[in-house]
Amino acid sequence: MTNRISSLARLLIVGVLAGVLGGITPMASAATSPFGLSGTNTAHQAPATNSANHDQWLNNQVRHELAMLPWYSVFDTLGYRIDGTTVILEGQVARASLKPDAEGVVKHIEGVEKVVNNIEVLPLSPMDNQIRMATFRAIYGNSPLGIYGRQPVPSIHIIVKNGNVTLTGVVNNEMDKNLASIRANGVSGVFSVTNNLVIERS
C-alpha cells in the first residue's frame, strides 16, 4: 500500500506552480499576504528588509519554494507565517522527508535568518494509507469534484490521521464543499471528517 501511495504521489508532483489553490497557505499574521496570492517567483533579489515591498516579496518566495517541493502531494498540507526574518512552518505531511525538505528550501531564501519547523509528520499506518486511497477515489473519481483534480496538485487535500480525515484547500462553492464531506464520510473505516475547505473568492 505504501508503494501505491508513492506512485500516486509521483503523479501529483508539482510540475509547475499553479497557485496550488490552498494547498500551501499563508497563515494569519501581519507579515503575510492574502490567501489568493498567486505564488509566482517574480524576483530573485530581495528588497531591503525595511522596504515597503519586502514582506510581499518574501511571502512570494516562501510559497513558491514550498509549492515546488518534488514530493508535495494531495495527501499533505503546508502553511507558514512570517515574522520579520523568521519563517514559521506549519502543516501535516504523510511523507516524513517533506519536513526537513521544506525547512531546507526556506532557510536558503535570501533574507530568511531563522526557520521554525512545526510541520507534523503523520504516523505510519496501513489503515490510514487505505483511507487516503479510498478517499481520493471517492472525491476525484466518478464525481463532479473531479474538476479539482485537473491541476499539478489537486486543490482538495486529504489529510488522514488515525482514521480521521481533514479536508483542506479551495473549492468554487458551498455545494462542492458539502459534497466533499459527503464523499469522504462514505469511505469505509473513516471515523470522522473535518471540512476545512475554503470557498474561493470571486
- 134 and 43 in one domain? no
Give the model's pLDDT for residue 41.
Answer: 43
Write down which residue in 98, 121, 144 finishes a domain: 121
Strands (E), 44-101: 77-83, 86-93
- 109 and 133 in one domain? no
Instruction: Answer whether residue 179 is part of any domain.
Output: yes
Burial (CB < 10 A; 0-12, 13-18, 19+), residue 13, is: middle
- 179 and 108 in one domain? no
Instruction: Answer whether residue 4 is part of any domain.
Output: no
CATH code assigned at 186: 3.30.1340.30
- 147 and 106 in one domain? no
Query: Which domain does 182 fall in, by range?
Result: 126-199
The candidate with the shortest Cα–Cα distance to 80, out of 49, 54, 107, 53, is: 107
Sign of the C-alpha dihedral computed for residues 141, 94, 178 and 164 taken in this order: positive
* Residue 25 identity (one-letter amino acid): T
- 136 and 105 in one domain? no
The candidate with the shortest Cα–Cα distance to 56, out of 95, 30, 20, 79, is: 30
Q: Which position has the grid cell 513558491?
A: 64
Answer for the pair 194, 165: CB distance below 8 angstroms, yes or no: yes
C-alpha cell read off for 120: 507534523
For β-strands 156-161 and 114-117, DSSP reports them as unpaired
The candidate with the shortest Cα–Cα distance to 94, out of 68, 118, 75, is: 75
Count of C-beta atoms within a 10 Å radius of residue 45 = 7
Instruction: Answer whether residue 6 is part of any domain.
Output: no
The candidate with the shortest Cα–Cα distance to 22, out of 62, 103, 77, 89, is: 77
Higher pLDDT pick, 51 / 95: 95
Give the model's pLDDT for residue 202.
Answer: 58
* Main-chain phi, psi angles of 144, to 5 degrees: -60, -20
**pLDDT of 169 higher than 90:** yes
**pLDDT of 13 higher than 90:** no
Instruction: Answer whether residue 3 is part of any domain.
Output: no
Write down which residue in 89, 121, 153 finishes a domain: 121
User: H helices within 94-160, ranges in order?
Assistant: 98-107, 126-140
Q: Lowest-pLDDT range, 24-38, 42-56, 90-104?
A: 24-38
Measured CA to CA in angstroms, residue 107 lies from 13, 60, 153, 193 at distances of 22, 14, 24, 34
Q: Which of 18-32, 44-58, 63-77 has the highest mean pLDDT?
A: 63-77
Report, as an integer, the average pLDDT of 42-60. Answer: 73
- 131 and 93 in one domain? no
Answer for the pair 156, 148: CB distance below 8 angstroms, yes or no: yes
**pLDDT of 3 higher than 50:** no
